[in-house]
A and B are shown apart, each in its own frame.
Chain A
Amino acid sequence: GPKVLQIPSHQIIDMGQMVTLNCDPVSNHLYFYWYKQILGQQMEFLVNFYNGKVMEKSKLFKDQFSVERPDGSYFTLKIQPTALEDSAVYFCASSSTNTEVFFGKGTRLTVV
């Protein structure tokens, strides 16, 4: 079936540095999402993105976070600067209009 690819699967970053998480969504999908799951906690919605704009974001989507999808390439989540509490697994997802949402396997981010 359709796949959402996330690169890399695991990333370790020093606190205060910038990190960019990459997501290759399903071809022809128009809606893109990021979710965050801290170890032992629920997977929580961060943001959704459509037509080049953030449509909705949660309180977890701090000012240090940004998303973009330049020229139909990767859908990215950038954190600048990173903090220890940003350590989590970040899941990317995509969907077409009112259809099933497809999730990637996640990128485990460790901030040290």
Chain B
Amino acid sequence: GDSVTQTEGPVTVSESESLIINCTYSATSIAYPNLFWYVRYPGEGLQLLLKVITAGQKGSSRGFEATYNKETTSFHLQKASVQESDSAVYYCALGRGTNTGKLTFGDGTVLTVKP
């Protein structure tokens, strides 16, 4: 079946430092799945951070970026300068194009940004 592997947390960085959370995927049910990053802030529900549905494209939101690389089957999340408010749990996920709601999630990466 499909699977997603991401950086094992917890990850701690200082404010204004750069960040990368790795994500690789294996999709057996579809050649080019849709790829997502979701985030759960403390006390909040899971929310979409960014998504990319076309291989080779880059998605961005709130200063975060991720590029869909079909050669390396990766979708790493990056941010040049993190803020304390970015402290959250980040989930990489993949989905099939015809059904956006059936998602396969990674384990989640807990990010703590120190002031």
Contact = CB atoms under 8 A, between A and B. Distances in A.
A103 B91 CA distance: 13
Interface of B: 38, 43-48, 51, 91, 99-108
Q: Which of A43, A95, A106 has the most CB of B within 10 A?
A: A43
Contact of B45 (A4, A44, A45, A98): A4
B46 A42 contact: no
Contacts of A71: none
B100 A42 contact: no
Query: Which 5 pairs, one residue from A and one from B, show the smallest C-beta to C-beta distance?
Result: A103-B46, A105-B45, A43-B105, A33-B101, A103-B45
A80 to B, nearest CB: 24
Interface in A19-59: 31, 33, 41-45, 48, 55-56
B46 to A, nearest CB: 4
For chain A, the bracket of interface size reads 20 to 34
A105 B44 contact: yes
A104 B45 contact: yes
A93 B101 contact: yes
A95 B100 contact: yes
Given A42-B107, A43-B91, A33 B102 contact: yes
30 contacts: A3-B45, A33-B101, A42-B108, A43-B46, A43-B105, A43-B108, A44-B105, A45-B102, A45-B103, A45-B104, A48-B101, A48-B102, A56-B99, A56-B102, A91-B46, A93-B101, A95-B101, A98-B100, A100-B48, A100-B51, A100-B100, A102-B47, A103-B45, A103-B46, A103-B47, A104-B45, A105-B43, A105-B44, A105-B45, A106-B45
Contacts of B102: 33, 45, 48, 56
Contacts of A4: 45
A91 B107 CA distance: 15
Interface string A75-112: 00000000000000001010100111111111000000
Given A45-B104, A95-B101, A101-B101, 5 more contacts: A43-B108, A56-B102, A93-B101, A100-B48, A100-B100
